[in-house]
Amino acid sequence: MLEIVKSGGWLMLPIILCSIVAAAIMLERLWTLQQRRVLPRNLTRQVWEWVSKNQLTPEHIKSLRDGSPLGEILSVGLTNRQRDREVMKERIEDTGRHVIHDLERYLNTLGTIAAISPLLGLLGTVIGMVKVFAAITTQGVGDPGVLAGGISEALITTAAGLSVAIPTLIGYRYLRGRVNALVVQMEKEAITLVEALHRKQSFDTMGKQRREAANG
């Protein structure tokens, strides 16, 4: 293996570095983007139980905010639950954009690696072929060994670049799709909470008005 790397020339170093960075990013994102970490099961139901039973405390909101991306979004809705519906939705959307940015962390880097890896391989191919033609110019075609070095460098760097780019592109597409699916689910959960809080606020207002009318 070491001999193959040496035969590929100096461009094998950035290609190998790209493979290490891509593998690290994919493993980190696969761990971070687990559904149980982003969307804890029954979290929205638990939040609604706190609200409906008037058991919601600042400690609950803080634990939500620090516990998961979905909890961070729901905590903003709870913090602004006494405000108008539009204000509440606006605050949730602002927080949602920050959460999505965090979920997409390093994905642009992964996409860049998928794009440049075959280009590095192509550059190695060009350099290898330049060496071949330079050897032909100076020594002719009588010595195959002189030509073999440039040709092997061209083929090895091309193969290495594609070997890095193909799995990296697959990982990038998969992780991008996972983020999109998680975002859609978080939007559903947030909308459900907003609607529930709005209905509760309306019922509380109506009940207060009725009590005031009865006392009046």
Q: How far apart are alpha carbons 185 and 171 in whole angstroms?
A: 21
| Mean pLDDT of the residues in the chain | 82
Distances (CA, A) of 34 to 117, 167, 173: 28, 20, 16
Q: How far apart are alpha carbons 141 and 115 in whole angstroms?
A: 36
Highest mean pLDDT among 7-16, 50-59, 63-72, 100-109: 100-109
pLDDT band at 214 (very low <50, low <70, confident <90, very high): low
pLDDT band at 50 (very low <50, low <70, confident <90, very high): confident
Q: Which of 179, 26, 23, 190 is nearest to 101 (CA)?
A: 179
pLDDT of residue 24: 96
Percentage helix, strand, coil for the chain under 3-state DSSP, each rounded to 5: 85, 0, 15
Q: 29: burial class by Cβ within 10 Å (0-12, 13-18, 19+)?
A: buried
Q: Which of 155, 139, 106, 135 is nearest to 7 (CA)?
A: 155
Q: Which position has the higher pLDDT, 84 or 97?
A: 97
pTM: 0.80
pLDDT of residue 27: 96
Counting other chains too, the contacts that 202-206 makes at CB distance below 8 Å and 24 or more residues apart are: none
Residue 202 pLDDT exceeds 70: no
Residue 139 pLDDT exceeds 80: no
Q: How far apart are alpha carbons 196 and 42 in whole angstroms?
A: 15
Residue 5 pLDDT exceeds 60: yes
Q: How far apart are alpha carbons 165 and 21 in whole angstroms?
A: 12
Residue 47 pLDDT exceeds 60: yes
- Judge contact between 47 and 78, C-beta under 8 A: yes
Q: How far apart are alpha carbons 95 and 74 in whole angstroms?
A: 10
Task: Quick: pLDDT tens for 145-200.
Answer: 656 666 777 788 888 999 999 999 999 999 999 999 999 998 888 888 877 777 76
Residue 68 pLDDT exceeds 60: yes
Residue 58 pLDDT exceeds 90: no
